[in-house]
Amino acid sequence: MSEIKLPKIHVNAEFQRLWWTNVRWSLITGVVLIFMLFLFAKPEYRNWGSHFYQIGLMAMILSALAGYILLERSLKQDISTNTFDQLRMSSLSAWQMAWSRIIVVPMMAWVAFVLGWLAMLLGEKLEDGTTWTIVAILLTLPFLAWGVVCLVLANALPVRQNKQRWNGSLVQVVLLYIIGARWMDYWENALRDIEFSQITGIHIAIMSVIFATMASVFVCTRMVNVLHLKNVDKIYAVLAVCAPVLAWWLLGNMQTAAATATLIYGGLTLASVAMQGMEINRFRLPVWALTAPLGILAAIMLQSFDVVLIWCQIAAFMVIVRVCTYLRLGVNSVTVALATYLLVLFLWTTITSNYMGY
């Protein structure tokens, strides 16, 4: 009796479903026409390079916002119609479902990004004094954009949505971004005496490729966790520990390597505490349980009191998250913790500035 061979399925059904439900050629045509209108709506026919660059930059910023909205809206629709429960029984891999949603759902945003990217390249070509570093940044923007979209999708995926945990809402993202921006100011002051090597075009290109690769692995792992309910904390931990390789050109010198490590591990610790909570058990290991010790070790190697003080503030944030989760508030505890931390940070900055006479 001959063995029955099943034909290979080369059609991604999820890609087709998302294409039919999300792609509208009329909207894409409208985006192109509006972009061209702004691109050539110029009263004076000079300084075209600067004009193209600014319009392209604006289009890319708007495409990022549109991509976030489109991805989040698509996920909410699939959740409300129980599509995710049906996808769990599909033979498609988590990666097929991830890249289909990354490419198709924000198609209108991708079109705006490509138009803005081409306009910026054209504007930079028309400008005088263009350097290789600027050209490299522009050429590697698609890799950075892909990585950002992967992170946006990973953040928006519905994992344990309840009042005590992170639910990927825009409010939480904005609050975490504000905290991260404040932290960059603290780190810049604490590491002001360290000389970092000058960044070049090769550095930017390699960093962008590594970032896009790690973000792709992260979003695929997140999709596996959501669709197949598998514990993927080990993969999260490996990605987090290997994160300093993004700044690979800074790892040659011991001092700059320690500064880079404590900066990256500090940011990952902050994000992990907000997104993963403070619980540790034998079945679950949050990222901060690994990044915090490594970041503190790197901070001790710098022998800087300012850096150690920054880690003390991270510990204060962890305490606030733990207290807000323990109180079981009527709203999302992580949102309350982020807002409370920003308020405490503002009061601390005000008091210390007045005390020191600034």
* Per-residue pLDDT tens over the stretch 158-214: 655 555 678 778 888 899 989 988 888 888 888 877 777 777 778 888 999 999 999
The pLDDT score that the predictor gives to residue 10 is 59
Kindly report the average pLDDT of the chain as a whole number.
85
Query: Average pLDDT of 38-52?
Result: 80
pLDDT of residue 329 exceeding 80: no
User: What is the per-residue burial (b if ≥16 Cβ within 10 Å, else e) of 224-238?
Assistant: bbbbeeeebbebbbe
The pLDDT score that the predictor gives to residue 6 is 47
Q: 0.85 cut: is pTM over it?
A: yes
Higher-confidence residue of 55 and 352: namely: 55
The pLDDT score that the predictor gives to residue 1 is 44
The pLDDT score that the predictor gives to residue 15 is 87
The pLDDT score that the predictor gives to residue 158 is 65
* pLDDT tens string 222-267: 998 888 888 888 899 999 999 999 988 888 888 889 999 999 999 9
C-alpha 224/C-alpha 229 separation (Å) is: 7
The pLDDT score that the predictor gives to residue 76 is 84
Q: How many CA atoms lie within 13 A of 235 on its CB side?
A: 15
Q: Which two tokens stand for residue 57?
A: 């930059």
Contacts of 177 (CB under 8 A, 6+ apart): none
**pLDDT-based confidence at 288, cuts 50/70/90?**
very high
Higher-confidence residue of 300 and 130: namely: 300
Give the CA distances from residue 172 to residues 156, 324, 332, 335, 339, in Å, rounded to whole numbers and listed in that order: 11, 15, 10, 6, 9
pLDDT of residue 354 exceeding 80: no
pLDDT of residue 129 exceeding 70: no
Q: Which of 1-15, 94-108, 224-238, 304-318 has the highest mean predicted lDDT (pLDDT)?
A: 94-108
pLDDT of residue 3 exceeding 70: no
Cβ(104)–Cβ(19) under 8 Å? Answer: yes
* pLDDT tens string 75-102: 888 888 888 778 777 778 888 889 999 9
* pLDDT tens string 101-126: 999 999 999 999 999 999 998 888 87
Higher-confidence residue of 73 and 158: namely: 73
Q: How many CA atoms lie within 13 A of 319 on its CB side?
A: 7
Cβ(202)–Cβ(184) under 8 Å? Answer: no
